């Protein structure tokens, strides 16, 4: 029995194939910008999505009948990490990674036929309406109401932090359908909203300090969607949420992204781009991050190995989310330190964009996808049994 994935020659060759594909097919300027943490437009991401879709690689992890590849978990793992390592722009996860697995498992035939092909091709852009002003870490306390009126759901309430809602065709959201359920988790349903065709949906920008509009507030004022837009069963939305949030656990530490950032950092220092900090101190810190990254990769591969033996990802996933997020922040911070005070400049700084800005953007990774505090709570209670009698599953409860 092999608890730690060690890649076969064929798998290693496959990773090389993916690498070559990125280098041959991705616009070099887009690749450069991804590596330097400079903005890539939604349109450029759509082009890359189409490139992957033509190759049959837009959603390798899906079942073959819906356009997946049937690859082994090891190949899926390598594919995601290699793309990131090579500087491919990340495809929007909302349709491909988050909603699709739920639809495939719980959706109606019609829903699958309607939505999956357009998610696969990139024709439809999706957003995820989970969080609300009062429901962040405590997602189950969400208040947006949906009431069935004939053959339509009427939605009222407010979503918050809805990334790319302003450019989305579709939203999948959580709504309260039973306000008096014995537990708040039991009164939640998942609905699909057509963002373009539904009246009573108002999208307002939330500006972040990075000066970019990536996320939004979404107001529902008697917005009506067809009854058929319910995903799965009524009041079972929380179960599906666990599928959404439990998704992509194998790649949760983002090892490929970290490797790319580490390489970029080393390149910058080697090419003399460092100004701040003594070189020797910088070397020590870079070595320390690299060491930590090795540990995270080892744990990721152990999780993958167990998964191949049929074991679902457990609390390792929480450890990996915690540690992976911390590594990303340390790496962007080291870029800032290496660049010294020049990193403070807004706008162009020679070949670099504002490095402090990209470090600031990375602060979000310990906040979303289940904050670091929430991850620790889950491990404390679920794995270590602290502060409660029964253990629960290791999945994050927060969008």
Ligand X SMILES: Cc1cc2nc3c(=O)[nH]c(=O)nc-3n(C[C@H](O)[C@H](O)[C@H](O)COP(=O)(O)OP(=O)(O)OC[C@H]3O[C@@H](n4cnc5c(N)ncnc54)[C@H](O)[C@@H]3O)c2cc1C
Nearer to ligand X, 79 or 319 (CB): 319
Considering only residues 323 to 352 of the shown chain, the ones binding another protein according to CB under 8 A are: 336-337, 340-347
DSSP 8-state class, residue 135? B
Q: Is position 357 an interface residue for another protein (rule: CB under 8 A)?
A: yes
**If phi over 0 gives left and psi between -120 and 50 gives alpha, with beta otherwise, what is residue 76?**
alpha
DSSP 8-state class, residue 192? E
| Rounded Cα gap, residues 208 and 203, in angstroms | 16
Q: Considering only 229-237, 238-246, 272-280, 298-306, which stretch makes contact with another protein by CB under 8 A?
A: 272-280
- CA distance to 46, 59, 89, per residue, from 168 (Å): 12, 19, 18
Which residues, in sequence order, are bridge partners of residue 64? none
Contacts of 250 (CB under 8 A, 6+ apart): 73, 76, 77, 80, 300, 303, 304, 307, 313
Active site residue 43: no
- Residue 207 contact among ligand X, another protein, none, beta carbon within 5 to 8 Å by kind: another protein
Q: Considering only 60-68, 112-120, 310-318, 367-375, which stretch makes contact with ligand X by CB under 6 A?
A: 367-375
CB of residue 333 to another protein, shortest distance in Å: 9
- Residue 277 contact among another protein, ligand X, none, beta carbon within 5 to 8 Å by kind: another protein
**If phi over 0 gives left and psi between -120 and 50 gives alpha, with beta otherwise, what is residue 87?**
left
| Rounded Cα gap, residues 301 and 250, in angstroms | 9
Q: Is position 356 an interface residue for another protein (rule: CB under 8 A)?
A: yes
- Residue 28 contact among another protein, ligand X, none, beta carbon within 5 to 8 Å by kind: none
Q: Is position 208 an interface residue for another protein (rule: CB under 8 A)?
A: yes
103-112 as b/e: b if 16+ CB within 10 A: bbebbeeebe
Active-site residue, selected from the candidate residues 81, 248, 316, 337: 248
- Residue 162 contact among another protein, ligand X, none, beta carbon within 5 to 8 Å by kind: ligand X
Q: Is position 136 an interface residue for ligand X (rule: CB under 6 A)?
A: yes
Q: How many CA atoms lie within 13 A of 303 on its CB side?
A: 23
Considering only residues 160 to 199 of the shown chain, the ones binding ligand X according to CB under 6 A are: 161-163
If you search the block for the tokens 């070595």, which residue do you land on? 287
Q: Considering only 21-29, 82-90, 125-133, 336-344, which stretch makes contact with ligand X by CB under 6 A?
A: 125-133
CA 213-217-220 angle, to 5 degrees, is 145
Nearer to another protein, 89 or 136 (CB): 136
> Which residues contribute to the site for ligand X (CB under 6 A)?
128, 130-131, 136-137, 161-163, 215, 364, 367-368, 371, 373-374, 377, 398-399
> Which residues contribute to the site for another protein (CB under 8 A)?
131, 134, 136-138, 141, 160-161, 206-211, 276-278, 281, 336-337, 340-347, 354, 356-357, 360, 363-364, 366-368, 371-373, 376-377
């Amino acid at each position: 029995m092999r608890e730690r994935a060690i890649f076969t020659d064929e798998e290693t060759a496959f990773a090389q194939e993916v690498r070559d594909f990125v280098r041959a097919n991705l616009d070099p300027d887009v690749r450069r910008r991804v590596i330097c943490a400079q903005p890539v437009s939604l349109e450029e991401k759509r082009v890359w999505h189409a490139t992957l879709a033509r190759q049959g690689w837009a959603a390798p992890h899906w079942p073959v009948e819906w356009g997946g590849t049937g690859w082994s978990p090891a190949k899926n793992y390598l594919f995601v990490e290699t793309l990131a390592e090579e500087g491919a722009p990340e495809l929007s996860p909302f349709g491909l990674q988050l909603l699709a697995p739920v639809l495939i498992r719980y959706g109606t035939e019609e829903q699958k036929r309607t939505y999956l092909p357009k998610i696969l091709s990139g024709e439809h852009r999706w957003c995820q309406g989970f969080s609300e002003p009062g429901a962040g870490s405590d997602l189950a306390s969400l208040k947006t109401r949906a009431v069935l009126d004939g053959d339509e759901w009427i939605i009222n309430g407010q979503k918050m932090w809805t990334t790319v809602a302003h450019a989305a065709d579709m939203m999948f959201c959580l709504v309260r359908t039973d306000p008096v359920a014995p537990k708040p988790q039991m009164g939640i349903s998942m609905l699909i909203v057509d963002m373009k065709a539904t009246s009573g949906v108002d999208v307002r920008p939330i500006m972040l300090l990075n000066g970019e509009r990536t996320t939004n507030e979404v107001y529902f004022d008697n917005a009506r969607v067809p009854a058929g837009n319910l995903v799965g069963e009524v009041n079972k939305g929380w179960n599906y949420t666990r599928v959404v949030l439990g998704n992509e656990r194998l790649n949760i530490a983002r090892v490929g992204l970290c490797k790319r950032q580490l390489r970029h950092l080393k390149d910058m220092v080697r090419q003399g781009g460092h100004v701040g900090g003594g070189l020797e101190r910088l070397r020590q810190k870079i070595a320390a991050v690299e060491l930590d990254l090795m540990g995270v990769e080892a744990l990721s591969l152990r999780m993958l190995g167990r998964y191949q033996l049929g074991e679902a990802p457990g609390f390792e996933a929480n450890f990996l989310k915690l540690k992976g997020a911390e590594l990303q922040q340390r790496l962007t911070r080291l870029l800032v330190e290496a660049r010294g005070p020049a990193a403070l400049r807004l706008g162009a700084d020679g070949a670099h964009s504002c490095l402090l800005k990209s470090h600031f953007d990375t602060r979000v990774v310990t906040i979303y996808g289940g904050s670091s505090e929430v991850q620790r709570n889950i491990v404390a209670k679920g794995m270590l049994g602290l502060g409660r009698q029964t253990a629960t599953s290791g999945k994050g409860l927060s969008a």
